[in-house]
Structure 1
Amino acid sequence: MQLIWLRSDLRVRDNSALAAAMAAGPTVALYLLSPEQWRRHDAAPCKVDFWRRNLVELSAALARLNVPLLIRQADSWDAAPGVIAELCREQRIAAVWVNDEYGIDEQRRDQAVARHLDGQGVTFQRRLDQLLLQPGSVLTQSGSYFKVYSQFRKLCHQRLHRALPTLLSVPAAQTPLALAGDTVPAAVAGFTAPGETLRRLWPAGETAALERLASFADERIDHYHEARDIPAQPGTSQLSAYLAAGVLSPRQCLHAALQANQGEFDSGNQGIVTWINELLWREFYKHILVGYPRVSRHRAFRPETEAVPWRDAPDELAAWQEGRTGIPLIDAAMRQLHATGWMHNRLRMVVAMFLTKNLLIDWRAGERYFMRQLIDGDLAANNGGWQWSASTGTDAAPYFRLFNPVSQSRRFDPQGRFIRHWLPELAGLDDKAIHEPSAARGGLFDEPDYPRPLVDLRLSRERALAAFRQLPQNQARATS
């Protein structure tokens, strides 16, 4: 008997480990509920609910293949080896099949399970699934992991041109087993389910995910490079939650994009090329997790930036979290996050820079808060984005590059449509004043339902620049 241990790969189509397991023999599936571990990893309640809802859909899809889905409890991953070993003994499992995951805790968990199973003669079979290219196969000439995305992307293009990953079809149904699957629980203890409004924004299951991918590829991908920065428009794919949970594979996304672009990676339609590059950014940050494990340990990718004198400002952090900064674009973005479990990508950068530069608050506070809210929370992408914005990460924005949130608002939401949607208390302001209410009417604006700015943008920018300039490496550059 074969066992497919499902994690962030909640689909039957193009699932490397599932296809391999079913080719090897009669197969059962396993999903571990690990609420304590999820809390340690700051998993958002809406994300845990999304996993659970997708498990319901996956259970039905597996049943059509006559593969029973078994649900077991391992509150923390320390318990996973024992729980899986016991199941292997019960079902006389010969091999456990998994799709690789890349965080340091995930890798340690899998190593511990593999050692435990080896002791009872069960093999542990790993497959590439979350990524297009195996970590360690895309390296610099000196044999190290890339630190610069453009160089990484160039080599990825070369590799993918030579050998494009193929899509795996749904395995044929196996002979029914004398084993019933388990019922997916209606809730996970300790994680409050979101409301139906949010759930409707993110329908579960492969069919919904593939429909969303097809709609994007057919209707919006051609203009992605122009529309992706406009938060009031549906210009992005909104596939990140499905990729994070593995309801979609990156191979499926890449094939859809290439099909729409006559097979071209770096020429043809600019919107499609830009979106493929975003898929490769996702790939890049996963490779960084493997090559530089310190980012999984809440450490700065650039160790010298650990000396940044971050401020301890709990009241300002709370105002940022709650959308009370007095900067409309920031506050609107935070309200979008709370209501939908998602934030527009341009705004993720803007609000992250505001926290880390204008407020000079440690990026780790923002990274953790985002993970506790995001339905698409992914360690690699979230950490990579936060460290890029904070100028502590790989290929990061230079410390002297700060997005001005008011300028960003005027540029990417010129009519204030996004702001008006999320901050209805400002809807009565004109298209100029809505970006900076405190400057309206000669500075006499007084809206009791909306706060004045938390900081002066110019002065807080200078404070951030001064803090980064005092780092030894920046002082050395200034005197060289």
Structure 2
Amino acid sequence: MRQLMWLRSDLRTQDNTALHAAMGAGPTIALYLISPQQWLEHDDAPCKVDFWLRNLVELRQRLAELNVPLLIRRAPHWRDAPQVIAELCRQHAIDCVQVNEEYGLHESRRDREVAASLEPLGVRLRSHLDQLFFPPGSVLTKSGSYFQVYSQFRKICYQRLHTALPALVGLPAPQAPLGIASDEVPAAVDGFATPSDSLRQLWPAGEDAAQERLALFAEERLAYYQDSRDYPIVPGTSQQSTYLAAGVISPRQCLHAALRGNQGEFDSGNPGAVSWINELLWREFYKHILVGYPRVSRHRAFRPETEALPWRDAPQDLLAWQQGRTGIPIIDAAMRQLLATGWMHNRLRMVVAMFLTKNLMIDWREGERFFMRHLIDGDLAANNGGWQWSASTGTDAAPYFRIFNPISQSQKFDADGRFIRTWLPELVGLNKRDIHDPSAMGGLFGLADYPRPIVDLAHSRERVLQAFRSLPPLEPAHV
């Protein structure tokens, strides 16, 4: 019973459910599809595509140690996948294609179409739960619907974890050699520029790198995570989101690492461990939302009434935000961090998102798209969930009247201005008071190379509050 392990966002050999199942069922060949047209349509960042390719190089070696050949095929668009996979199954006499489930609208359609194309060949597509703790549809309200409030969702997850902690899947034993050569992994894909060496060095590829980073965090930083996670200059976060998005590490591995550091507890004990597990469950929540409310995959607001918000068409303001030249130092420093590293600190993601949607009153979809085009850890569910939370259009979103003041956020979480100075060298000479709001100094202090704010924070706050207050009530059909 020859198996085909179709790799997607699960680029690892350890704790890989589908790989373990495939190798347990018979001789296994691994496959990865290069799909540049689909990636462009999904706004995948060049640095993210490069990260996938670099991890495939590492994974190819890990699979070789298991005598599993890795085949690379081109399916420019996901609609090409059924034909490519069917041909491969005929060529190698495959009996079953094993996959780990993915949850976007297009991903689900792709898998259905592949399964349909394999059925006439007598080949089964078998899918596995891997990137979540609980299957979507298994954590529901008493009325049988998907949760819309995170705290209620988390409560049920806690109850389940007490009785059914997801177990790690062991590394399969090497199989007998198949006499099939692995393909070379391309160094680049047309349409996706290779990022700088400095960016690549920030995100080393491979399971070993991910595990080393997780171990360092669990041993040295997890206990202090709750206190340090909001300060962008402090290395207080796990920086596992990049590895989770590509599946180089699994949520189960992260959960078990946290539990080891907290005597097996996930909802009590060390506040840092509890807080980090909470973030893993937020990630879970947004993927369940993706399945339960597919409109969020269609660029629609979770709260239908907010589609009536009069977003501004302000291309110059949008460009200033994208380029990190809004005149608000913490915003500009965060955006420049994103452009240079492919990553942004989570606290700053909320701050810049609220600034774009609330102060500039620009459609959250513009920010969601820009982030996906630049984030090395871009993930549809988490990115959409975060942007709709900030814009007050999403599930369990920030109340529309809760608007971060970016200057206050800067003073609180970058009090000495160290993060700002790292990314805005033109402000390096300012003291820790003036660096948060240079415009308050007046125009006589030689800051000609730094712009004045493109928006008045107080006025813009009132503007967006009035827009939300003026929304028509939700029609009964949508309640």
1:50 to 2:51 alignment: yes
Query: Is the 1:45–1:192 Cα contact (8 Å) retained in structure 2?
Result: yes
Counterpart residue number, 1:456: 456
1:292 paired with 2:293, answer yes
Matched residues in 2 for 1:142 and 1:259: separation? 36
CA offset digits 1:190-234 (Å, max 9, x no partner): 100101100000000000000000000000010100100000100
Secondary structure of the corresponding residue to residue 212 of structure 1: helix
* Structure 1 residue 446 displacement after superposition: 4.6
| Residue 472 of structure 1, CA deviation | 1.8
User: Which structure 2 residues correspond to residues 43-442 of structure 1 after superposition, within 5 A?
Assistant: 43-440=44-441, 442=442
Unpaired runs of 5+ residues, structure 2, are: 475-479
Distance apart, 1:156 and its partner CA: 0.2
Letter in 1 for 2:50: D
- What's the offset of the Cα at 1:121? 0.6
User: Does structure 1 residue 470 correspond to structure 2 residue 470?
Assistant: yes
Cα offsets for 1:387-432 (capped at 9, x unmatched)? 0000000000010110000000000000000000100110111110
Counterpart of 1:319, as a letter, is A
Identity of aligned residues (%): 73
Runs of 4+ in 1 over 4 A off after TM superposition: 442-446
Counterparts of 2:436 and 2:115 in 1: how far apart (Å)? 55
Q: Distance in 2 between matches of 1:469 and 1:184?
A: 54
Q: Within 2, Cα distance between the matches of 1:43 and 1:467?
A: 32
Count the aligned residue pairs: 475
Alpha-carbon distance in structure 2 between the residues aligned to 1:461 and 1:447: 26
Preserved CA contact (<8 Å) 1:28 1:68: yes
TM-score by length of 2: 0.98
**Per the alignment, in what secondary structure is the counterpart of residue 370 of structure 1?**
helix
Match of 1:124, SS state, is: strand
- Following the alignment from structure 1 to structure 2, what is the Cα–Cα distance between the partners of residues 428 and 464? 34
Q: Tell me by how many angstroms 1:443 deviates.
A: 5.7
Residues 141-174 of structure 1: per-residue CA shift (max 9 Å, x gap):
0000000000000100100110111111110000
TM superposition score normalised by structure 1: 0.98
Once the two structures are superposed, residues 291-314 of structure 1 have per-residue CA deviations (whole angstroms, 9 ceiling, x without a partner) of 000000000000110000000000
Amino acid at match of 1:186: A
Deviation at 1:265, TM superposition (A): 1.1
Contact 1:439–1:445 (Cα < 8 Å) also in 2: no
Distance in 2 separating the partners of 1:443 and 1:275 = 44
Q: CA deviation at 1:277?
A: 0.2
1:54-96 per-residue CA deviation (whole Å, 9 max, x = no partner) reads 0000000000000000000000001000000000000000000
Could you tell me which amino acid in structure 2 is paired with residue 416 of structure 1? G
Q: Read off the aligned partner of 2:63 and give its amino acid letter.
A: L
Query: Secondary structure in 1 aligned to 2:401?
Result: coil
Contact 1:438-1:444 within 8 A present in 2 as well: no
Runs of 5+ consecutive residues of structure 1 not aligned to the other structure: 475-480
The one-letter code of the counterpart of 1:199 is: R
Say which SS state the counterpart of residue 220 (structure 1) adopts: helix
Which one-letter code corresponds to 1:469 in the other structure?
R
Cα distance in 2 for partners of 1:12, 1:251 equals 14
- Displacement of 1:178: 1.7
Q: Distance in 2 between matches of 1:232 and 1:18?
A: 39
Instruction: For 1:158 and 1:255, locate their aligned partners in 2 and report how far apart those are by CA, in whole Å.
Output: 17
Once the two structures are TM-superposed, the CA of residue 473 in structure 1 deviates from its matched residue by 3.0
Instruction: Say which SS state the counterpart of residue 70 (structure 1) adopts.
Output: strand
Residue 114 of structure 1 aligns with an amino acid whose one-letter code is A
SS in 1 for 2:291: helix
> 1:388, 1:396 within 8 Å by CA — same for their partners in 2?
yes
